[in-house]
Structure 1
Amino acid sequence: MKRWMNTRVSQPFDVVVIGGGAAGMLAAGTAAARGMQVCLVEKQARPGRKLMITGKGRCNLTNDCDVQEFIASVPSNGRFLFSAASAFPPRDVMAFFENQGLPLKVERGNRVFPTSDRAVDVVDTLVRYMKRGGVEMLIGQAAKLLLEQGHVQGIELQDGACVLARNVLIACGGASYPGTGSTGDGYVLARQAGHTVVPLRPSLVPLVAKGTDCSEMMGLSLKNTAIRVLDTQKKKEVYSDFGEMLFTHFGVSGPMILSASAHMRDMAPGRYRIVIDLKPALRPEQLDARLQRDFEMNKNRDFINALSALLPRKMIPVLVRRSGILPETKCNQITREQRRAFVTLLKAYPVEISGFRPIEEAIVTSGGVSVKEVNPKTMESKRIKGLYFAGEVLDVDAYTGGFNLQIAFCTGRLAANSMQ
């Protein structure tokens, strides 16, 4: 076993934490601060790899909201988190990091970031927290749990070495971004202990669109744009947002789209439609007046050549085709009905969604260890004494805005404070 720290391995430990992500590091440091002998096992050469890339490398580490708002932002089993979130709410998470010497700032949507805008500073803060408590950090991969008569006894690593402990925390993430170490190891261990794993699906993930329109606009980023997500099966709107999105070779991505994906439950081809308002600042009648002026100025030009002041270049051929107006139609020949139909298209440009991108591209894994088999007041397994779960390995996931890291921190904290 290799070590991050050149310290002596003393066994048995009070606690073994599997996974050096947000939940695992916070839990390891918390247990050590309680005076427990803690070993953190991480298979990557450096902990916090996924934390490094969150928030575009800035790390949106929580959301400055109250407990009820936090729970409302967790569509999968949010109520399960009530005890954890009440014991370590967002304001306490913020206070923790600031007390550890990391200044924070609050941005749009109550998103909390380090003032430095550097995710590495969040990781370094958690590593220092563990080191101060004397956490032993080992590079290795847990191969199986050591179980005896309904109690956990420790873990066995892939190299055959055993790390003994009376408490084991599984906090090794989900199955998204496998390059950071989240390769689903926790689910294998959970099943070994007799736990049910709810089928995995991607959340906060780009979306695949039907047809070729999006690929024709590949690379085009829209800012200050409004979207609505319609569930055509239930015939209702399930999400709306205002902000930034991106057209790609497969469909759509960007901050608004990732958030929207979390609201698309039971995905099926054709079930969901995204409706984009390309001109949200203009009411339909204002946009119609704008078009009339543009067409008057370009009355002898072809329709397709009269839209450069209104739309991005890559979008014009697609919108013209979708309008049904022939590209070579002179602007002074466009009828009022055609113009008004074009206004409707600009205010409600539809994108039919055929599915999610693969789970490997998702920011968060939805599904995981069934919360019905975990004590919400302690994060301890209801099946195996001394076995705990925290973070993304659980069947809880939230919208964007810092809520998923809040899940990691509060469940990790609760598990560590519940261990005997």
Structure 2
Amino acid sequence: METDVVVIGGGPSGLMAAIAAAEQGARTLIIEKGKKLGKKLAISGGGRCNVTSRLPKDEIIKHIPGNGRFLYSAFSVFDNEDIISFFSELGVELKEEDHGRMFPVSDSAQDVVNALITRLSALDVKVWLETGVKAIDYHENSHTVLLQDGQKIEAKSVVVAVGGKAVPHTGSTGDGYPWAKTAGHTVTDLYPTEVPLKSNQPFIKNKSLQGLALRDVALSVKNQDGKHIVTHQMDMLFTHFGYSGPAVLRCSQYVVKLLKNGQQEVSLYIDALPDKNKEALLSELQAMMSENSKKAIKNTLKGLVPERYLHFILEKNKIDLDTKCANISNEHIRHFIDDIKHFELLVYDSLPIEKAFVTGGGVSIKEVVPTTMASKIMPRLFFSGEILDIHGYTGGYNITAALVTGRLAGQNAAWASF
């Protein structure tokens, strides 16, 4: 079989690439090894699909710490506002929520997937599901896509949009890296990002804090020299194996890199009351305890932080929960405040890349043209989405990168095929 453009991968980037190619008039085939298109998209955002962000472009790129600056050129062609208009034209209106996050008004990720599939159909894009790709044979004026069943497809251009290695049940199992290497590309070290972290601290082992969520804490990462690396103020969760939740996921890539660089353990610090400094908090607590001198400390401080966490920090500082406020020294209170503002978590590992939300590493961006997503090494070969060495925080940033790079890859693959 012959065609103009083959897009390998039916995730957000592949769907956008196939639509973009077909809109230019290219005969387009999309190949997906799974039973459905858009499987990862359908489960994103808790099934609501955080399509993009309405933050300014500079802010979006700050939220893509893994080579986000590479996207400046792409955003000059197709950006987050274009994504919003694109879906509006497909009949999917988006609404803005906190931090600029854009969701479908219907709160249904499936509506986003269905709109993309309907557009593919309207453009006569051929869709082959449950079709595995074995390899790609590269030639000067065309490429041959070899399928697992022995079939061969001659394509003038190929877009590789198969994702990374995170969330493998959606089909992202790292298939594209060998094809990139065969073309002469460098694949940088792969590692998990947006991933829960593991700890063997006593309170994790004995599960005393398991299931506890802390709201709007400031979580900081420091290296072994005590140098501050990053802070994120969001929610977090204690689990049976360690730590999870939005703040932990955002900090995780920095922890993973420190561990990869040889640190045995990485320290994170929780500030449970980030809007209050230590001295102000000390004055506040001293006043409360003075007014309630005959009350038990656990009752006087109730509501300061979640009750389980309060009791845990008090007991850690050898303050009996039923001790009357009048009987507690300033020194004890200062140590208590130290833990409220700077409680140390020790992490020795993360969950594996298969349990991560996003893959760090991938096809080196130094070998990809930023305005077209074309390979600098192999003519008529394009990359888009998570196979590239680009990764962002959760919150619509990875989907934005996938849609933007997919749009450029598909358009330029079409133009290269004429």
8 Å Cα contact 1:206-1:257 kept in structure 2? yes
8 Å Cα contact 1:204-1:259 kept in structure 2? yes
1:288-327 pair list within 5 angstroms: 288-289=282-283, 291-292=285-286, 293-294=288-289, 297=292, 299=294, 301=296, 308-325=302-319
Correspondence for 1:109: 99
8 Å Cα contact 2:214-2:306 kept in structure 1? no
Residue 168 of structure 1, CA deviation: 0.8
Correspondence for 2:251: 260
Gaps of 5+ in 2: none
* CA distances 1:72-126 after superposition (whole Å, capped 9, x unpaired): 3322222322221211111111111111111111122111111111111111111
Distance 1:308 1:73, change over 3 A: closer
Residue 264 of structure 1, CA deviation: 3.8
The answer to whether 1:35 aligns with 2:25 is yes
Instruction: Find the aligned partners of 2:299 and 2:79 in 1 and give their Cα distance.
Output: 55
The answer to whether 1:341 aligns with 2:332 is no
- Of the structure 1 ranges 114-123 and 67-76, higher mean CA displacement relative to structure 2 is found in 67-76
Correspondence for 1:3: none
SS class of match (1:378): coil
Q: Sequence identity, in percent? A: 39
The answer to whether 1:225 aligns with 2:222 is no
Distance 1:377 1:286, change over 3 A: closer
Residue 14 of structure 1, CA deviation: 0.4
Correspondence for 1:239: 230
The answer to whether 1:87 aligns with 2:81 is no
SS class of match (2:232): strand
8 Å Cα contact 2:192-2:256 kept in structure 1? no
Return the match for 2:121 from 131, 152, 155. 131
Distance 1:209 1:298, change over 3 A: farther
Correspondence for 1:8: none
Residue 157 of structure 1, CA deviation: 1.1
Correspondence for 2:40: 50
Residue 45 of structure 1, CA deviation: 0.8
Correspondence for 1:119: 109
SS class of match (1:216): coil
Distance 1:12 1:74, change over 3 A: same
Residue 61 of structure 1, CA deviation: 1.3
The answer to whether 1:96 aligns with 2:86 is yes
Return the match for 1:363 from 357, 361, 369. 357
Instruction: Find the aligned partners of 1:70 and 1:222 in 2 and give their Cα distance.
Output: 26
Gaps of 5+ in 1: 1-10
* CA distances 1:141-163 after superposition (whole Å, capped 9, x unpaired): 11100223x45423111111122
8 Å Cα contact 2:191-2:256 kept in structure 1? no
Residue 311 of structure 1, CA deviation: 4.2
Task: State the AA in 2 paired with 1:253.
Answer: S
Residue 196 of structure 1, CA deviation: 1.5
8 Å Cα contact 1:84-1:410 kept in structure 2? yes
The answer to whether 1:191 aligns with 2:194 is no
Correspondence for 1:160: 150
8 Å Cα contact 1:277-1:347 kept in structure 2? yes
Return the match for 1:65 from 55, 61, 69. 55
The answer to whether 1:178 aligns with 2:129 is no
Residue 242 of structure 1, CA deviation: 2.6
Instruction: Find the aligned partners of 1:277 and 1:308 in 2 and give their Cα distance.
Output: 18
Instruction: Find the aligned partners of 2:172 and 2:202 in 1 and give their Cα distance.
Output: 33
Correspondence for 1:380: 374
Instruction: Find the aligned partners of 2:43 and 2:155 in 1 and give their Cα distance.
Output: 32
Point out the structure with the larger strand share. 1
Task: State the AA in 2 paired with 1:340.
Answer: R
Residue 290 of structure 1, CA deviation: 5.0
Instruction: Find the aligned partners of 2:136 and 2:163 in 1 and give their Cα distance.
Output: 17
TM-score (norm 1): 0.89
Correspondence for 2:15: 25
Instruction: Find the aligned partners of 2:12 and 2:133 in 1 and give their Cα distance.
Output: 18
Correspondence for 1:147: 138
8 Å Cα contact 2:34-2:171 kept in structure 1? yes
Residue 383 of structure 1, CA deviation: 2.3
Return the match for 1:279 from 257, 262, 273. 273
Task: State the AA in 2 paired with 1:218.
Answer: Q
Return the match for 1:412 from 403, 406, 409. 406
- Of the structure 1 ranges 44-53 and 168-177, higher mean CA displacement relative to structure 2 is found in 44-53
Distance 1:194 1:162, change over 3 A: same
TM-score (norm 2): 0.90
Residue 306 of structure 1, CA deviation: 6.7
SS class of match (1:31): helix
Give the RMSD, CA atoms, in angstroms: 2.3
Instruction: Find the aligned partners of 1:238 and 1:402 in 2 and give their Cα distance.
Output: 23
8 Å Cα contact 1:369-1:393 kept in structure 2? yes
8 Å Cα contact 1:270-1:352 kept in structure 2? no
Instruction: Find the aligned partners of 1:300 and 1:416 in 2 and give their Cα distance.
Output: 68
Instruction: Find the aligned partners of 1:41 and 1:250 in 2 and give their Cα distance.
Output: 38
Instruction: Find the aligned partners of 2:116 and 2:123 in 1 and give their Cα distance.
Output: 11
8 Å Cα contact 1:40-1:135 kept in structure 2? yes
Instruction: Find the aligned partners of 2:257 and 2:112 in 1 and give their Cα distance.
Output: 35
Correspondence for 1:4: none
Task: State the AA in 2 paired with 1:18.
Answer: I
Correspondence for 1:402: 396
